[in-house]
Structure 1
Amino acid sequence: QLQLFEDDHPACAVLALHPPDDQTQVVALYLHEKWWRLDDVLRTSIGSRSGFIPVKVQSVVERVIVFLLSRVVERPPSPGEASFSLHPRTESCKLLWRDKQAVGFYTIKHKGSLCDSWSSCCYLLPVLDTLLVRRSCRRRGFGLQILEDFCSMFSSEEFLGVSSPLSPSMAAVVRRFLLQHQEHRERLYEVEAPGGWTQRQNIWLNIQLGRYSFHQVRMGFSFRFY
């Protein structure tokens, strides 16, 4: 069984089929009373998802896909990439579809949502928290499109956050985005929860001051914050 969410009961698990010689690999999942290959789970027959489509995660199957992308499909992580921990079952996510195939996801901490399960602190601004693009789909501009989707989703907010710390690859993507979209240079901040003014730094200013290391940038990116 594979547990889908952090600190959850056994009912939120899915049966997995492993090769006899490698229990860390998953070749199939048991969903809707039948076994499915991973590639089939990561595809959709919905015709409207033929272009680059960010879709809000709502169904159980969509949350299974987010789990597969973060914990199964892209393992082991590339050198310099962080491993993903399990997401909360109520995590706000968007799946990224390209030609009817799930190519990645990103998660959001909404303004006013709790920062954790043990305090009453709430986020003071919307925050792009975690992001992953599949290795086979990188260097196609998806990271820039994700940032554009995130910024447009909260167009009425004066300030937006990206969870700290920014990896070198993510900092490079944000730099490219801000070079193309000057209107967001004063909006995007690197933030620590809950995102008060003492917990945020303007990303464009940090770029100008040389506070990010770009020489380690690889051919793609994924990041997870704790």
Structure 2
Amino acid sequence: MFPVDFPLVEETDLRSASEQYLLSLESRPKDNEWFQSPKTSKLEITANSIKWLQLFEDDQTKCSILALHPPGDPSQVVALYLHGSWWCVNDVIRTSCESRTDLLPVQSLMERLIMFLLNQVVEMPSQEETLFSMHTRTESAKLLWRDGQAVGFYTVKHKGSLCDSWSGRCYQMPVLDTVLVRRSWRRRGLGLKMLADFCSSFPSEEVLGISVPLSASMVAVCRHFLHLNEDHRDRLYEVEAPGAWTQQRNIWLNIQLSRYLLTVDEVG
């Protein structure tokens, strides 16, 4: 079993167990605990090699977990402290549950942790890519599972949901906000699959949005999708929040007018 397969855990229990572990580690007369990762050398676990990771954007309750990093390099994450043990990152995003396959709604804290890891740790952006911001704890999302591991996700801003915490503006249509596919799983049609799933999830909505700016890879996915699905050409718009009429631009029209910078390397 992997962390996502364990019984559901409350974030207060997760925080409490982590705090108790950290206190016990700091009170030991001599640090003698080690972690062996398949991809790194043996690491001694000390208070100086552990940091807190905050999982959610603007989180008032500070839902955080302990992360192990190499000596002198806190920007890296080697392992996470979950269910009383240290788990390497690659094992945290895996599952032993055979029914966990394809696109599934994100519901549990562990699934949101996997989203965080894919977003902020596993798939660090190249110079040509943009780092996605952290998501909120209530973000509507689906994880994509393949061969016992999470290989991507997408998030949605629902119609009527708040655009932010200060303006009171609400989205005027469902908006596809974030799409991520791990590099090793790209060029297999997974980005196309997620876009199709998003569109089919709102059959009664005449107009659907995709958050601006569209990356070159997302434009490539949209071009492929709209080439195959003519009925969606008048339905998909790039939008700025909250998506008023003046903040909508038809994606198919923009593709035909060559208003996007295209690339041969697609997200999916």
Q: TM-score, normalized by length of structure 2?
A: 0.78
Is 2:220–2:266's contact at 8 Å kept on the other side of the alignment? no
Q: What is the alpha-carbon distance in structure 2 between the residues aligned to residue 119 and residue 11 of structure 1?
A: 23
Corresponding residue of 2:130: 82
Corresponding residue of 2:33: none
Aligned length: 217
Is 1:3–1:10's contact at 8 Å kept on the other side of the alignment? no
SS at match of 2:99: helix
Q: Please say which of residues 21-30 and 90-99 is displaced more in the overlay.
A: 21-30
Corresponding residue of 1:16: 67
Q: What letter corresponds to residue 265 of structure 2 in structure 1?
A: M
Would you say 1:219 and 2:268 are equivalent positions? no
Corresponding residue of 1:6: 57
Would you say 1:100 and 2:148 are equivalent positions? yes
Corresponding residue of 2:107: 58
Gaps of 5+ in 1: none
Would you say 1:199 and 2:250 are equivalent positions? no
How much has 1:186 moved relative to structure 2? 0.8
Corresponding residue of 2:6: none
Please give the residue correspondences for 1:1-226 in structure 2 after superposition, counting only pairs within 5 Å.
1-9=52-60, 11-50=62-101, 53-75=102-124, 77-214=125-262, 217=263, 219-221=265-267
- C-alpha distance 127-99 of structure 1, shift in aligned 2 (>3 A): same
Q: What is the alpha-carbon distance in structure 2 between the residues aligned to residue 218 and residue 41 of structure 1?
A: 32
How much has 1:64 moved relative to structure 2? 0.4
SS at match of 2:165: coil
RCO (CA 8 Å, sep 6+): is it higher in 1 or 2?
1
Q: What is the alpha-carbon distance in structure 1 between the residues aligned to residue 165 and residue 62 of structure 2?
A: 20
CA deviations 1:113-157 (Å, max 9, x no partner) are: 001000111001000001111011111100100011001111111
Gaps of 5+ in 2: 1-51
Q: TM-score, normalized by length of structure 1?
A: 0.92
Q: What is the alpha-carbon distance in structure 1 between the residues aligned to residue 89 and residue 123 of structure 2?
A: 12
Q: Please say which of residues 144-153 and 33-42 is displaced more in the overlay.
A: 33-42
How much has 1:89 moved relative to structure 2? 1.2
Q: What is the alpha-carbon distance in structure 1 between the residues aligned to residue 147 and residue 153 of structure 2?
A: 15
Q: What is the alpha-carbon distance in structure 2 between the residues aligned to residue 119 and residue 10 of structure 1?
A: 22
Q: What is the alpha-carbon distance in structure 2 between the residues aligned to residue 112 and residue 17 of structure 1?
A: 40
Is 2:152–2:182's contact at 8 Å kept on the other side of the alignment? yes
How much has 1:168 moved relative to structure 2? 1.3
- C-alpha distance 137-125 of structure 1, shift in aligned 2 (>3 A): same
Q: What is the alpha-carbon distance in structure 1 between the residues aligned to residue 266 and residue 259 of structure 2?
A: 20
Is 1:113–1:122's contact at 8 Å kept on the other side of the alignment? yes
Is 1:133–1:220's contact at 8 Å kept on the other side of the alignment? no
Q: What is the alpha-carbon distance in structure 2 between the residues aligned to residue 110 and residue 79 of structure 1?
A: 31
